[in-house]
Each structure stands twice: as structure tokens, then as C-alpha cells.
Amino acid sequence: MIYSRKLLRAHDNSSRAERGDTIIEVLIATGIVSLVLTSAFALTSRNVRTNQAVQEQAYAQKLVEKQVELLRAVASKPTVDSCFDDTGTRKDASDAACNVTNGGAAYDLTVHPTVSANTYSITATWSSLTGGDANVTVYYRVAP
């Protein structure tokens, strides 16, 4: 009889252990899931910031290239800091036409005559939406 009671108790203990997970197992599983989700969020967030920075850089490059084309097309080259509007008219650097907004970023355009003859630096500067200031500068030499 004693032997059968011990067997019964052993059977009861094993069925209790199989009924559910302990709190420690649940906490470990929750920690692992949290770690995986946090890593995925961090990676996604970094990719979004990088994508935004690349888009801003590409747009600035496009603006600078357009200024180079307009500089190439005008007969009288600028002698002071300026920019060109969409019609090719030279504007003072402080003019609103030299400030372009796209996707929340405001770009300031400047065509700057350098010390050496017939050379210009064309710059687009902006406050990056991902943080900090950024710029693109292209140097262009006009054939004499």
C-alpha cells in the first residue's frame, strides 16, 4: 500500500509540471521576444534615416546641377553671390528664389564666384531632417 501511494504522488507531481509553464520560462520567452523586436525596430529606424539622407542628398545634387546648367546658359556671368530662378534670371543670394523647399527640407542655393577667373562654386546647404547640417558643392569652370 505504501508503495502505491508513492507512485500515486509521483504521478500527481509529474502531471502538475506538465500542466503549464513556470513564471521563469514565461519571463525568458518574453525577454527573447523583446530582444528580437527591439533589434528589428532599431534596424528599421536606421534604414529609414539612411533613406531620408540619401533622398535629401540626391535632391540637393539635382538642384546644384540645375544651377550649373543655368550658369552655363547665361551670357553675363555673376560677379557676386547669387543664384538663378527657374527662368534663368540671376537673383541675389538673399532672394526667396534661392531658397527651395522639398519634403520638409529647405535648401539654400548659392552660386559663388571664386578668386580664380571664370570658376564658380555652386552650393546647396540644408538642415537635414535626420539631424545636422549638410551641403553639396560643385565647382564649375567657364571656358574663356
Give 90-130 pLDDT, tens digit per residue: 999 999 999 999 988 999 999 999 988 789 999 999 998 88
Positive or negative, the Cα torsion across 8, 12, 17, 22? negative
- pLDDT score at 80: 92
- The pTM of this model reads 0.73
Report the percentage of the chain scoring pLDDT > 90.
Answer: 67
**10 HSE (CA, 13 A, CB side):** 6
Q: 21-79: per-residue pLDDT in tens?
A: 799 999 999 999 999 999 999 999 999 999 999 999 999 999 999 999 999 998 888 88
What is the pLDDT, as a whole number, of residue 66? 95
Intra-chain end-to-end CA distance of the chain, in Å: 115
Asked if residue 134 has pLDDT above 80, the reply is yes
